[in-house]
Every structure is written in C-alpha cells, then in structure tokens.
Structure 1
Amino acid sequence: MPGFLLRLSVAMGFTCALAAALAIPVPENDDLRSAVAVSKLVLAQQAVFFRELINATRERTSGCAPHVRSEMSVSCPSPFANVMGECFYLSKILLTWDQARTHCLGMGAELAVPRHLYGLKSFVVGENGPIVSWVGAQESEVEEPEATDVEAKSDESRWQWVDESVVEPELFYSKPPSRRPNHKICIELRKDRHPALEFKTCTTSQRFICQLH
C-alpha cells in the first residue's frame, strides 16, 4: 500500500502539472498538433491514475479473510436468521429445557451451541428478545468422584454443550451450584449479564434458541 500511495502521488502531481500547462495560453501561430499531443499525454496519465486506484480497491477487497466472506454468504432458511455465519431461531413459546430440545430437533436443528456466544447475545438484544433463553448446555450426566483434590477440575468439566464439548468456565456469570439429587441444572443465555451464561433448573419453562447445523 505505501508503494501505491507513492505512485498515486506522482501520478496526481504529474497530472496537475500537465493540466496547469494546458491552462497557459497557446499562441495562435503554434502548431495545433502540439496542443493535441499534450492533451493525449494528460489523458494517458489520468488513465494510469484510475487504473492504480481500481487495483488498490481490488487489493483491499481481496484482503478480507476468506472465512468472513463465507460467513456473510451463509443462507439460512426461514424461520432461521444468519448470525455471524450461523443459523438461529429465537422461539416465541415457553418450554422446559428437554421440551425445547425436542422442539429444536423437530425443526431439524438443535439447541444452540454458538461459536460466537456474544454475537448470539447481540442478536437477542437486537431482536428485543427475552432476558433469558435456553441454549444447548446442561449438567453432565456423568457422576464425578468426590475426592477433594479433583473438586475444582470436576466442577469445570460437569457443564457440557449438547455436542459433548465442555462449556468454558469464563462464560458463566455466577459460581456453579452444588449437585442436588433429582434437581438437574441447565444453562440459559441472559442478555442482561456479562458473562452471559447462567444456571437454571431444567424444568423451568422459558423461551429458547435453536441452531441449524
């Protein structure tokens, strides 16, 4: 880009100089062909200038990351909406976490497991969506050992997305609740919290977000 700016400055300076030369009154007895030749030279320099400008624009466009262009081109079928290259559906009805997952599966989708959690949160805010929505994460089914030396590690790994990946601890607003028999905890997205994930009893009925993969 610095090389282009240098060439651009030279081209503009040369063009201005020639244009100024054209502004000098030409004596009537001068050869008309000289004026025509100067005009052609000015036009040629202008052509170089615009060609450089077009090439620079193409370079800047081609410099965009390929994954950004592909995300922008993702087409989501109705009623799903494109959010940073992923397709989401924000429900209008209230369901428990298990019911919400069944509903999403019935749409050929799954409860949301977003790559860009805060992109999804921004979408909910922009749609004037609910304060809380179920997403595709819950307490792991696997019972962890009670040994105190692995307590912190097991607490981090007990929260999983539905694709079985671990939910990053830094995404939670509050500290995880203690395990309680027959009291399973699921994960909700809150648009009024940062970090955006919170814990909620899975039997609570609320709106949810499906994701088409």
Structure 2
Amino acid sequence: MRLLTVVLLLLWALLGKCSEPPSDVLSCSYQISNILREIKDVLTSTSGRCSSDGERDERLVGIERETVSQAVRQHGEVVRSLLAQTESLKKAVTSVAEVQSAHKQLLIALRTELESEKQTKRTQRRTIQDLRSEIHTLREESKNWQEHLRRMESEMKAGLQKTELAAQEATIEVKGASDRANSLGRVIRRVQRSMHSLEKIVTQHTTRLAALTARGRGRRPPPQHSLPTLPSTEMPQTGEEVDCPHPYTRIGLGCFAVHSTQRLSWEQARQHCRGIDGDLANPDDIYDVVLFLDDSFPESVYSTSGGWGFWIGATLDNTGTWQWVSGLPVRTQVDFWGRGEPGDAQENDEGCLFLHGWWRFRAGADPCTSEKYFICERKVN
C-alpha cells in the first residue's frame, strides 16, 4: 500500500512538473525520464519485500502495477505529444525568426525609402525656392517689358500720326500731280490732233503748190506718191467729210462704236464687231479714242461704268510684240500704258489689250477670256 502511495506521489509530481508549457521542453523530458526511473527502482526494491506478504497482496500489487503501467503509458503519450509540440514550437520559432528577419529588412527598406523621401522633399523645396526666385525675376522683367512696350506704343502712335499727316500731304501732292498729268495728257492729245490736221493741211497745200509750180513752168505735176505725205496708218486719205454709217460715230478721224452696256470676251467682242462690218478698234491715233472715253466717262462714272475697261483690237504675239488686228505693230507713245502695265504679260497669259477706266483709259494687258466692254471701228476710205 505504501508502494502504491509512493508511485502515486511520483506520478503526481510528474504531472505537476509537466502540466504547464515548460520554458525548456528538453529539461521537462529529462525530469520525466528520471521520475520513471525512480518508479522502476521503487518497484524493483519492493518486489522482494512484498513476496512474503503472501498471495493476498500479490493480486493488489498486480492491480497497482497495471495502474502504474497505464499511468506510464499515458505519460509516454503525453511525452510524445510534448515532443511533437516541441518540434512545432521549433518550427514556429524558426518562422518567427524568419518573420523578424523580414521585418528587419522591411524596416531597413522603409528607413531607406524614408530617407530618400526626405532627400526628395529637400530637393523639391530647393526647386520651389528656385522657381519662386525665377518667377519673381520674370515678373520684374515682365514689368520692364510692359513699360518698354508702352513707350514703343506711344512712339509708334506718334510716328503713325506723323506718317498719316505725311501720307495725306503726299496724297494731295499725288492727286495734284495726277490732275496736272491728266491735263497735260489732254493737252498733248489735242496738240497731236492739231498736228495731224496741220500735217494734212500742209500736205494739201504742198500738193497744190507743186501743181501750180508745174503749170507755171509748163510741166506736169509730179506723181502723188512723190509728195511728202503721211502713211495711211496715221491719217485717212479722205478729208474730214467722212460720214460714219450707223451704228458708228465720228471720233477724231475715224468711225467708232463704243459698247458700254454689254461685256464679252476679246474674241466674242471681235466677232460682234465683224457682224456690224467692222473690227475691234485699231485706230490710227489711239489718243482720239482715249480723249473721247475720258470725256464721256468722267471720274464719277468710270469707277462703276468703265471699271472693267474696253477691249480694243491688239494682241501679244509669240515674240512679245503687241500688234493691231490689221497686222501693224502698236506704237507705245508717251502716257500710253497704265501704272504697272503691261508687266510680264506673256508669262501671265495676258495677251489682249484694253483701255481701263481706273487709269483714265490708258492701256493695260489682261487674259483674253476676261469679259469687258469693247470698242468697234469701221475703216472708211
């Protein structure tokens, strides 16, 4: 009975030692082994003494042994469970160590990133300070430029006012010069007409004088072609007694029809003139026609009525020479072309001649497909 008490006490001590999770699992296992060894020694030492007690106690000892064996087996299972838990704890400790190591590395990375972020912020602060300084400089420069632009604007306004005044004065001078030139042109045209008439009269008197001289000497008068007469292209062979058929009107020394209500291309205008027994105007003296148009379409009218001009019978050939429809070359006299005309007419395909109202009916070149008013002429012998 005392043996059973001793064994139970040892088992109770064993359970007391390992009932809570030990701080060191190996030491707990070692203590369990020692207790089991003590139990075995007790049982061995008491087996001899208990043999004399008779068969009565043998049955009790067997029961106690069976109980102790069961307790030992249970405690063996507990030990195996503790060993398994020890392995799990080792693995957990290893995992915890790895996690701690990862945490340390993460902390190091976070510290590095934090330091980099601090450096970036310091750089950004410096950049912001530089930008503020640059903005301040730009504002100062902008103020200076604005002031400079204001001064320039004032100077430009003053210069424009002076230029406008000068332009007005120049316009007045140009207008006066233009008026003087127009007046001079009219005088020149009238003088030319007078010269033609005078040449005609001189020619007639020369012919008569030659005839009278020949009669006085008893000779025949010299042939008509030997007299100093003007070419037929400069004056008609008949006198001023020419009657122009309808719809032609006497202008200078020729018969002309001015069409100022219908606009056609150059070729269409020529066909129209041929349909009334004439052709596009190719006058012996173009200034007679110009003077007539200038008198018929004054400045207040030609800006609208004559703004498109009048086709006349002259074209540009392949050699760059202007020719009348009669085949004779156009004589470009003083004050013949308008301002800037004819320019590069051949390159610009401006091969037909016209009289433009904006230039006081001076000559200009334009594409033959343009539609304009036109002037017809009928040659009368």
Q: Tell whether the structures are fold-level matches, with TM greater than 0.5.
A: yes
Q: Does 1:112 align with 2:289?
A: no
The answer for the alignment partner of 2:271 in structure 1 is 102
Structure 1 equivalent of residue 324 of structure 2 = 161
- So what's the TM-score if we normalise by structure 2? 0.32
Alignment match, 1:121: 290
Structure showing the higher strand proportion among its residues: 1
Q: Could you tell me which residue of structure 2 aligns to residue 197 of structure 1? A: 363
Correspondence for 1:77: 245
Distance in structure 2 (CA, Å) of the matches to 1:136 and 1:79? 18
CA-to-aligned-CA distance 1:45-86 (integer Å, 9 cap, x gap)? xxxxxxxxxxxxxxxxxxx82579954311011111001120
Report % sequence identity.
25
CA contact (8 A) 2:278 2:377 kept: yes
Contact in 2 for aligned 1:71/1:86 (Cα 8 Å): no
- Following the alignment from structure 2 to structure 1, what is the Cα–Cα distance between the partners of residues 346 and 296? 35
TM-score by length of 1: 0.56
Deviating runs (4+, > 2 A) in structure 1?
66-72, 125-131, 168-173, 178-181, 190-195
Please list every run of 5 or more consecutive structure 1 residues that lacks an aligned counterpart in the other structure.
1-63, 145-154
| Structure 2, unaligned runs of 5 or more | 1-199, 205-234, 298-304
Tell me the C-alpha RMSD between the 2 structures. 2.8
1:151-174: CA deviations, max 9, x gaps? xxxx4xx21111111112343232
Instruction: Tell me what 1:130 maps to.
Output: 306
Specify the alignment match of 1:47 in structure 2.
Answer: none
For 1:187 and 1:163, locate their aligned partners in 2 and report how far apart those are by CA, in whole Å. 14
Task: Name the SS for the 1:125 alignment partner.
Answer: helix
CA–CA distance in structure 2, aligned partners of residues 68 and 101 of structure 1: 22
Give the counterpart letter for 1:172 in structure 2: W
Structure-2 change in CA distance of 1:204 and 1:86 (3 Å) = same
Assess if the C-alpha contact under 8 Å between 2:356 and 2:364 holds in 1.
Answer: yes
Alignment of 1:1-213 (within 5 A): 65=201, 66=204, 70-91=238-259, 92-128=261-297, 130-131=306-307, 132-140=309-317, 142=318, 144=319, 155=320, 158-170=321-333, 171-173=336-338, 174-180=341-347, 183-193=349-359, 196-213=362-379
* Greater share of residues in helix: 2
Q: Distance in 2 between matches of 1:84 and 1:169?
A: 19
Secondary structure of 1:207's partner? strand
- Alignment CA distance shift 1:178-1:186 (3 Å): closer
